[in-house]
Amino acid sequence: MNHPLPKWVDYGLIPLLNLVTAFLVAGLVVLIVGENPFEAAYLLVRGAFGYGGGIGYTLFYATNFIFTGLSVAVAIHCGLFNIGSEGQAYVGGIGVAAACLALDHYVPWFVTLPFAIAGAAIAGAAWALIPAWLQAKRGSHVVITTIMFNFIASALMIYLLVEVLKPAGSMSPETRTFVEGGRIPKLDWLFELFGSSLGGAPFNWTFFLALLCCYLVWLLIWRTRLGYEIRTTGTNPTAAVYAGIPQVRTIVIAMLISGALAGMMAINPVMGDQARLQESFPAGAGFVGIAVSLMGRNHPVGIIFAAILFGMLWQGGAELAFDMPNISRDMIVVIQGLVILFAGALEHMYRPALSAIFFMRQSSGAPASAGQANTGEA
Amino acid sequence: MAEKAAEEAGTGKAPKPVHPAIELRGISKSFGPVKANRNIDLRVERGTIHGIIGENGAGKSTLMSILYGFYHADSGDILIGGKPVRITGSQEAIALGIGMVHQHFMLVHNFSVLENIILGAEGGNVLNSARTRARSELERLEREYDMHVDPDAIIEELPVGLQQRVEILKALYRGAEILILDEPTGVLTPAEADHLFRILEQLREQGKTIILITHKLREIMAITDNVSVMRRGEIVATRKTAETNVEQLAELMVGRRVLLRVDKGKASPGETKLSVQGLTVADSRRVTMVDAVTFDVRAGEIVGIAGVAGNGQSELLEAIAGIRRAKQGKVLLDGRPIGVTGPGDPAAMRDRGLAHVPEDRHHMGLVLPFEENENSILGYHTKQQYLNGPLLDIDAIRNDAKAKIEQYDIRPPDCRLKTANFSGGNQQKIVLAREMERDPSVLLIGQPTRGVDVGAIEFIHKRIIEMRDAGKAILLVSVELDEIRSLADRILVMFAGRIVGERTPEASEGELGLLMAGIQDGEGRTGGRAA
């Protein structure tokens, strides 16, 4: 029997325990490779938070993961498992690049940005439309179709970059570099306020756009009629039909919003860092979004924390691989994988035990009220 | 083994003074803060039928699960035939001669009767010998207890009453001396229930001990020798059935006096509000579930649809509510047709004054993980009063929910609590408050008191009558014949998708029961309205 746990256990203790477990197992792996796990942990944390540039990179990666995490979360609230955030983010890059290529010579970056946002959202949503439609109308499972669309996106982007977007005479599959009007400025001043320095880290204004999106997603899911319909459809489809909520419309809209959020992730690397559209720029952020959303309990606040955690793993992991020769880049992927495994896939591992411990303590304390007595047997 | 016990117990009803078949001493079981069973003492005498009655959540099922080894008691002793035992699993319970017939049968649907009987008692990797043994043993049991079932019939082709008989045979085949039946009549027609009781009496004659768990007071009175009443995890009383009565038991169950009879005046029906004409509905397998059904419901009357579950009542309600697409036929609401054969639009139905309390509140009427206030607007969330531009007006929604909580005495009175944490009766009140307070002109109600405790039943019945007296047209579907008879002004009996007869509530239970079982009464009235 599963009892509801108090919020601080649910949202604080359980993720923490999962994380600690992940790091313990990762520590064993480091030990097997013949390195000191404590030193490795120290290097990882120092790489991610120890200096201005490290923090900058951590937050830069976190920005990507916030967008993809929100993308996955919105779909999950509608009962859909969107595995296609990766492809949607990739295709979203076209929207960003189109806005930048068209405008960067003529207007400042903050005029380009709204067009880039719109372009990214529209392109990402468009990439989610067909899977959404197939799910809503034909019942084709969205997990299958979005995986397929990741591959199609990959092929499409390579074609576009090599055959269409590559400037004449260039050897690399990427667009020309945007000039000033297509680049989002970095947030050096913010770090200087604290007497630190961003160094070369690409941390930029997109981070605040991501935070704004967190607020908007919260508003959408818990405070709008559409969000109510999305949650009802996702939690109890039969009740949604009973309530007269149009299924096809709700599923399609939820997937479009999910795709749009994934697409907007492209703004960060394309317009905020590289100033050009490159091959494979999402670099797995779409898949990390699944773990971020799971670990953040599909709630925007949780997603921010989970995104920063994964940003830390990405940045600190890179530094660790650099500092410890025995720990290769692949080892870092193993450690990240362990965190995903324990925090995401096995997130309920400790729940039954905690539930038992917690309620044993409680029942020996204050007697249960009549209200609680009802809940247990219902 | 069976004969041995029969010898020991003799054939009479009289309990032997030696050891009771089951004795529970001080059994307690908690789930977290919830004390499901508190210090339970229970003696069940050998060769008797012992009823256990109580509201939903009183702890009956937990107690029986402890006896059958599903749960382990926190404290207390179990004595079987005077010997203390520890039961840690159903295998041990079976070895001790305890058999259980679950509310939801544990049968493999595409297996034959014989295969189901030997399931789990195959006695080896090769089935042939077990099958031969089982066949002869089965014949003996059938002879002994007068319970015939074709051993080669496939389970899903048998009527529910016979499936239940297979469950009983399964327990007897395993040498059960003590049979526990959990709400055995929930799915049976009155005639099937009568037959079951005759079988139980036969088993008692043979010296078997039977524990009957039910919430139906009438069954307790009809068949048991002794009865124990459970309330809030405790046994509050044990009585000899002959020395008690329905009113006393009901009072013990609820802890206060309850009005069992519904107090209602004569209906004064007005104009026709809902008119169903030749409605035919097929399910997803294209099997016709509702077959050319025609009837009217007028303002200020309650039309009850009686029938055994699964005879098309659910589909009928859903088609009228716009949830399920009908194949053909017409439905008029206030004289204007609603497009039942097109894609349904439950939202439009609500706008036209049709409210629907669905049969299955867990699957359809509520979103259980939602907060109570979120469920109190389900289906009405598009109404201006709950909206503030594109946003939901959270204050308006919560205040509205609080008002309903007070008016319908929903407990605990917390509109932010997760709906899953309310008891069945209170969940049903959430649905009723939502649908009734919209002041609909037509109200469809499916199974208003399924899984609802006696105290709440009284309240719900009163509200339904009040709605009728306020001039609403009410269509009531229930598998509880008693409920239909006490609430409805006219009763339509549904069998195999057709309306096979119309009766007044004064019609005898036997007459209605025959109709529900699809037995034509030879007067040419059956099927008349359905044609």
Separation of alpha carbons A285 and A65, rounded Å: 6
d(CA B118, CA B489): 49
Residue B229: beta bridge partners? B53, B237
Min Cα distance B213 → chain A (Å) is 17
pLDDT value at A375 more than 50 = no
Give yes or no: residues B89 and B184 share one domain.
Answer: yes
Is B113 domain-assigned? no
Asked, for residue B443, whether it belongs to a domain, the answer is: yes
Mutation target for A interface from B367, B386, B395, B438: give the one with most A CBs within 10 A.
B367
Same domain, B211 and B347: no
A359/B381 CB distance under 8 A: no
Q: Is residue A22 part of a domain?
A: no
**Test the B interface: residue of A10, A241, A375 with most B CBs within 10 Å:** A375
Straight-line distance from the first to the last Cα atom of chain B, in angstroms, rounded to the nearest whole number:
55
Q: Hey, are the CB atoms on B57 and A374 less than 8 Å from each other?
A: yes
B185 and B92, same domain (yes or no): yes
Residues 6+ apart with CB under 8 A from B404: B376, B410, B430, B433, B434, B437
Distance CA B189, CA B512 (A): 10
Shortest Cα distance, chain A CAs vs residue B32, angstroms: 5
Residue B467 lies in a domain: yes
Domains contained in chain B, number: 2
Report the alpha-carbon distance of residue B166 to residue B101 in Å, rounded. 10
Give the model's confidence band at B482: pLDDT under 50 very low, under 70 low, under 90 confident, else very high. confident
Domain that holds residue A142: 36-323
A8, A41, A2, A11: which is closest to A306 by C-alpha?
A11
Cα separations in angstroms, B195 against A370, B144, B165, B190, B521: 40, 16, 10, 9, 20
Domain presence at residue A340 = no
Closest CA to A73 of A296, A287, A285: A296
Beta-bridge partners for B494: B499
Mean pLDDT, range A159-163, rounded to an integer: 94
Phi/psi of residue A164, nearest 5 degrees: -115, -50
Give the CATH number, domain containing residue B298.
Answer: 3.40.50.300
Please give the structure tokens belonging to residue A48.
């991610």
Q: How many helices (H) and strands (E) does chain A have?
A: 17, 0
pLDDT exceeds 50 at position B232: yes
- Other CB atoms within a 10 A radius of the CB of residue B271 amount to 11
Q: How far is CA B212 from CA B40, B53, B101, B184, B197, in A?
A: 17, 8, 10, 8, 11
3-state secondary structure A85-143: HHHHHHHHHHHHHHHHHHHCCCCCHHHHHHHHHHHHHHHHHHHHHHHHHHHHHHCCCHH
Residue A317 has pLDDT above 80, yes or no: yes
> Using a CB-CB distance cutoff of 8 angstroms, which residues of chain B are in contact with residue A4?
418, 421
Mean per-residue pLDDT, B450-467: 86
Q: Are residues B250 and B293 in the same domain?
A: no
State how far residue B361 is from chain A, nearest Cα, in angstroms: 9
Mean pLDDT (chain B, rounded): 86
Note whether B378 contacts A244, CB cutoff 8 Å: no
The more confident residue out of B477 and A345 is B477
The three-state secondary structure class of B307 is: coil
Min Cα separation B375/chain A (Å): 10
User: How do strand B83-85 and strand B75-80 relate by DSSP bridges?
Assistant: antiparallel
Tell me the shortest Cα–Cα distance from B390 to chain A, in angstroms: 6
Is there a contact between B71 and B269 (Cβ–Cβ < 8 Å)? Answer: no
Q: Do B422 and A236 touch (CB under 8 A)?
A: no
Q: Tell me the angle at which helices A285-295 and A85-103 cross, rounded to the nearest 10 degrees.
A: 120
The verdict on B247 and B296 lying in the same domain is: no
pLDDT, tens digit (0-9, with 9 covering 90-100), for B409-446: 898 899 999 998 887 788 999 999 999 998 899 999 99
Banded pLDDT at B260 (limits 50, 70, 90): low
A139 and B CB contact within 8 Å: no
The reply to whether B349 and B455 lie within a common domain is yes
A243 with B232: Cβ contact below 8 A: no
Q: What is the pLDDT of residue A378?
A: 31
Of B379, B382, B421, the CB nearest to A375: B421
pLDDT at res. B8: 44
- The residue ranking higher by pLDDT, A138 or A340, is A138
Please tell me which of the candidates B33, B374, B426 has its beta carbon nearest to residue A359: B33
Sign, CA torsion A209/A210/A216/A220: positive
Burial class of B99 by CB neighbour count within 10 A (0 to 12, 13 to 18, 19+): buried
Q: Is the dihedral of CA A122, A123, A129, A132 positive or negative?
A: negative
Q: Does B402 reside within a domain?
A: no
Is B363 in contact with A238 (Cβ distance < 8 A)? yes
DSSP state of B111: S
Q: Do B321 and A242 touch (CB under 8 A)?
A: yes
Query: Nearest residue on chain B to A357, judged by CA atoms?
Result: B32
Q: List pLDDT tens digits, range B88-125.
A: 888 889 889 999 988 778 889 889 998 898 887 777 77
Are residues B198 and B316 part of one domain? no
Which three-class secondary structure state does DSSP give residue B520?
Answer: coil
pLDDT at B18 over 60: yes
pLDDT at B259: 61
Q: Distance between alpha carbon B300 and the CA centroid of its chain, in Å?
A: 28
Closest CA to A243 of A220, A225, A260, A264: A225
**pLDDT for residue A363:** 52
Q: Which distant-in-sequence residues (6+ apart) come within 8 Å of B81 by Cβ?
A: B19, B21, B46
Q: What is the mean pLDDT of residues B40-65?
A: 88
CB pairs under 8 A between A and B: 127
What's the number of domains chain A is made of? 1
Taking an 8 Å cut-off on Cβ atoms, the answer to whether B422 and A375 are in contact is yes
Q: In the structure encoding, which two tokens stand for residue B516, read together?
A: 């529900």
Per-residue confidence (pLDDT) for residue B287, from 0 to 100:
81
Q: How far apart are CA B247 and CA A338, in angstroms?
A: 63
Is B423 in contact with A241 (Cβ distance < 8 A)? no
At residue A334, the pLDDT reads: 86
pLDDT in tens, B58-93: 788 889 889 988 888 889 999 998 889 988 888 889
Strand extents, DSSP E, B334-438:
336-338, 354-357, 387-388, 391-392
| Inter-chain CB proximity A374 and B411 less than 8 Å | yes
Is the predicted pLDDT of residue B160 greater than 90, yes or no?
no
Query: For the residues A116-125, what does the mean pLDDT come to?
Result: 98
First to last CA, chain A: 12
pLDDT classification of A376: cutoffs 50, 70, 90: very low
Which of A65, A301, A56, A79 minimizes the C-alpha distance to A202? A56
User: Rounded to an integer, what distance in angstroms lies between the CA atom of residue B212 and that of residue B184?
Assistant: 8
**CA-CA distance, A314 to A312, in Å (whole number)?**
5
For residue B529, the model assigns a pLDDT of: 39
Structure confidence at residue B393 (pLDDT): 95
Tell if the pTM clears 0.90, that is, is over it: no
Closest residue in chain B to residue A247, using alpha carbons only: B345
Instruction: With a cut of 50, say whether residue B1 has pLDDT above it.
Output: no
On whether both B340 and B240 belong to a single domain, the answer is no
Q: Which domain holds residue B316?
A: 272-370+423-428+438-516
In a mutational test of the B interface, the residue from A2, A226, A374 whose CB has the highest number of chain B CBs within 10 Å is A374
Q: Pick the range with the lowest mean pLDDT from B276-285, B488-497, B513-522.
A: B513-522
Say if residue B244 is in the same domain as residue B296. Answer: no
Amino acid B129: pLDDT = 80
**A267 falls within a domain:** yes
pLDDT tens for each residue of B459-478: 999 999 999 999 999 999 99
Distances (CA, A) of A253 to A131, A133, A144, A230, B21: 12, 10, 19, 9, 63
Question: Which of A76, A225, A248, A253 best probes binding to B when mutated, by most B CB atoms within 10 angstroms?
Answer: A225
B392: tokens are 């939901």
Domain assignment present for residue B129? The answer is no
Residue B313 has pLDDT above 80, yes or no: yes
* ipTM field: 0.84
Q: Which residues of B touch A243 (CB under 8 A)?
A: 346-347, 378-379, 381
Residue A50 domain-assigned (yes or no): yes
Per-residue pLDDT at A366 exceeds 60: no
Q: Give yes or no: residues B356 and B329 share one domain.
A: yes
Beta pairing partners, B293? B279
- pLDDT digit string, tens, across residues A245-283: 999 999 999 999 999 999 999 999 999 999 999 999 999
Does position A374 have pLDDT exceeding 70, yes or no? no
CB within 8 Å: B32 and A241: no
The verdict on residue A126 lying in a domain is: yes
Amino acid letter, residue A254: A
Q: Considering only alpha carbons, which residue of chain B is nearest residue A378?
A: B423
Residue B126 inside a domain? The answer is: no
| Mean pLDDT in residue range A103-111 | 96
Evaluate if residue A294 carries a pLDDT over 90.
Answer: no
Average pLDDT over residues A274-302: 92
Which chain B residue has its CA at the smallest distance from A225's CA? B392
Is the pLDDT reported for residue B315 higher than 50?
Answer: yes
At residue B195 the predicted structure's pLDDT band, cuts being 50, 70 and 90, is confident
Q: Measured between CA atoms, how close is A347 to chain B, in angstroms? A: 19
Q: Does A231 touch chain B (CB under 8 A)?
A: yes
CA proximity to B116, closest of B174, B60, B71, B68? B174
Confirm whether B116 is domain-assigned: no
Task: Using alpha carbons, list the distances in angstroms from residue B176 to B1, B107, B187, B205.
Answer: 9, 18, 23, 15
Please indicate, yes or no, if residue B13 is contained in any of the structural domains: yes
Do the domain assignments include residue A221?
yes
